[in-house]
Structure 1
């Protein structure tokens, strides 16, 4: 029977196309990973990889074997980890990705209670404005919106991702409040140039009656980060279109006000993404439930709904 180390070396090498990268993820030397794979090939009596100085690719037999293994290895590893812990207590590093402003404002405050309840879990939370590859980058979960739901991923919806127009009270002094989204163009705009396309995002706003209107802003101030947009709005530089969760605290304190309050843009949903492996690690399962339950208890889905005038 093959050892778990041999199978893990094969699966990770196939996943990353490199003995060196597999070794880094497994905290082994490349020589050790190569040796484990060679032992597996010898025991099976087939060559699993085509090797060259520049590339590592699966043979036909290797691809067949990888498909046959499927997600079973992850399940075996999780079962071993939980049995080794001696209890059903969640344990291990919990690596999660989330947007900086949203994560720090709404998710980070949930961490003390979570770690008190599950002290054997070690949090490694990354705050970043990008869509990560959960499997390739070793994340247990990610929180955000707009992820490509590739095979093997599950999305658990937490709240709507609604975009609203905001400005500081100081900026609006002496200015006529806009009555509909088209009037926003007359004000100074704080807009974002997306890193992916290099374009300025123009939103279409809607109301509860279903009417839709384009809401372009003048390109008075251009930044490349949502947090910078919010700070620019707080400084009184103009109007910004931002996600409700990112501006909720400022709206609550009155340091920002919502313009055309019955209009919003729908950017989809804020979801919690995780791998749909046959046996999801217990640390991930309890984290998903903790976040989902917290959102329900705090009624965050309702608070983040731009369709509700604030």
Structure 2
């Protein structure tokens, strides 16, 4: 058991590059983690880390050992967690990352039903529009779109990530008619700044017949939030390109209407992400299956499609 604990200290330290951060996640002291790793090195007869004042770096032997033991460690931990679940039901703290507004609008309303089914699970939900390090930061799952898929992480599609052009009826009545994408360059744009890069992205419009055209609007203003862009567009201040999950409520309430409704931007998918394990923790499996089920039952895939 002591060797297992030492291996856990080693794997956590390797993942985060720090005894102090590993200690925080394991609820131990940095000295205890360092001592445990030193005992493991003495037992193996090799140095696993090159230590510096700033960061731990794996030696060649350390990297080989990590590759051999990390997957097995996670499998054992998940097996223990599943057996320890209350009366065989999924249990424990469920750490999930999701976009701020998307999570509030479409995931938080599902929380009551989720907890009725799985009362032994304790949600620990983080709202952030940036991609998190799912494994390194200890998240069980994340919901979002446009994320790179790191090694060891899998994604299940929830809905297409379509973006559409929207404006108020007052704006459209007061400005030049828009018959095609080329007419957009005469109109004020409410542009979205990427939370990842801080830059305004260039987009390509796609038609229902799969024609393509660059999107060109006059940059009247920029924002970092699609919900804010929608609220601004309702004031007749310009045309915004926003994700369907944010636009749909305004379109249904008729406070905004689509501009060039036969055109949209295909931005991939909104997916649920989780670490790939042979034995996925019961709490994670319950959450993933529940979210996929609810998105299907509520017709959100169709609602968020621009087609």
TM-score band by shorter chain is over 0.9
Residue of structure 1 equivalent to 2:301: 301
Contact 1:2–1:40 under 8 Å retained in 2 = no
- Once residues 18 and 153 of structure 1 are traced to their aligned partners in structure 2, the CA distance between those partners, rounded to angstroms, is 22
Contact 2:184–2:216 under 8 Å retained in 1 = yes
SS of 2:164's equivalent in the other structure is strand
SS of 1:213's equivalent in the other structure is strand
Residue of structure 2 equivalent to 1:99: 99
> Unaligned 5+ residue runs, structure 1?
none
- Once residues 199 and 61 of structure 2 are traced to their aligned partners in structure 1, the CA distance between those partners, rounded to angstroms, is 46
Is 1:217 aligned to 2:250, yes or no?
no
Alpha-carbon offset, residue 80 of structure 1? 1.3
> Unaligned 5+ residue runs, structure 2?
none
Alpha-carbon offset, residue 43 of structure 1? 2.7
- Once residues 254 and 76 of structure 2 are traced to their aligned partners in structure 1, the CA distance between those partners, rounded to angstroms, is 52
Residue of structure 2 equivalent to 1:121: 121
SS of 1:160's equivalent in the other structure is strand
Is 1:60 aligned to 2:60, yes or no?
yes
- Once residues 143 and 35 of structure 2 are traced to their aligned partners in structure 1, the CA distance between those partners, rounded to angstroms, is 38
Residue of structure 2 equivalent to 1:267: 267
Residue of structure 2 equivalent to 1:5: 5
- Once residues 113 and 224 of structure 1 are traced to their aligned partners in structure 2, the CA distance between those partners, rounded to angstroms, is 32
Superposed CA deviations along residues 15-62 of structure 1, whole A, max 9, x for unmatched, are 112111111111211011112112222333333222233332223332
Alpha-carbon offset, residue 86 of structure 1? 5.0
Decide which moves more: 284-293 or 63-72.
Answer: 63-72
Residue of structure 2 equivalent to 1:189: 189
Alpha-carbon offset, residue 204 of structure 1? 1.5
- Once residues 83 and 14 of structure 2 are traced to their aligned partners in structure 1, the CA distance between those partners, rounded to angstroms, is 27
SS of 1:220's equivalent in the other structure is strand
Contact 2:95–2:140 under 8 Å retained in 1 = yes
Superposed CA deviations along residues 95-121 of structure 1, whole A, max 9, x for unmatched, are 111111211111111111111110111
- Once residues 216 and 225 of structure 1 are traced to their aligned partners in structure 2, the CA distance between those partners, rounded to angstroms, is 19
Decide which moves more: 60-69 or 280-289.
Answer: 60-69
Is 1:30 aligned to 2:37, yes or no?
no
Superposed CA deviations along residues 239-286 of structure 1, whole A, max 9, x for unmatched, are 100011111111111111111111111011111111102221111111
Aligned ranges 1:203-214 → 2 under 5 Å: 203-214=203-214
Residue of structure 1 equivalent to 2:80: 80
TM-score (norm 1): 0.93
Superposed CA deviations along residues 74-105 of structure 1, whole A, max 9, x for unmatched, are 11112112222353211111111111121111
Over aligned residue pairs, what C-alpha RMSD do you find? Answer: 1.7
Residue of structure 2 equivalent to 1:235: 235
Alpha-carbon offset, residue 196 of structure 1? 4.4
Superposed CA deviations along residues 162-197 of structure 1, whole A, max 9, x for unmatched, are 110001223233335422222222222101233544
- Once residues 290 and 79 of structure 1 are traced to their aligned partners in structure 2, the CA distance between those partners, rounded to angstroms, is 21
Contact 1:165–1:242 under 8 Å retained in 2 = yes
SS of 2:87's equivalent in the other structure is coil
Decide which moves more: 200-209 or 267-276.
Answer: 200-209
TM-score (norm 2): 0.94
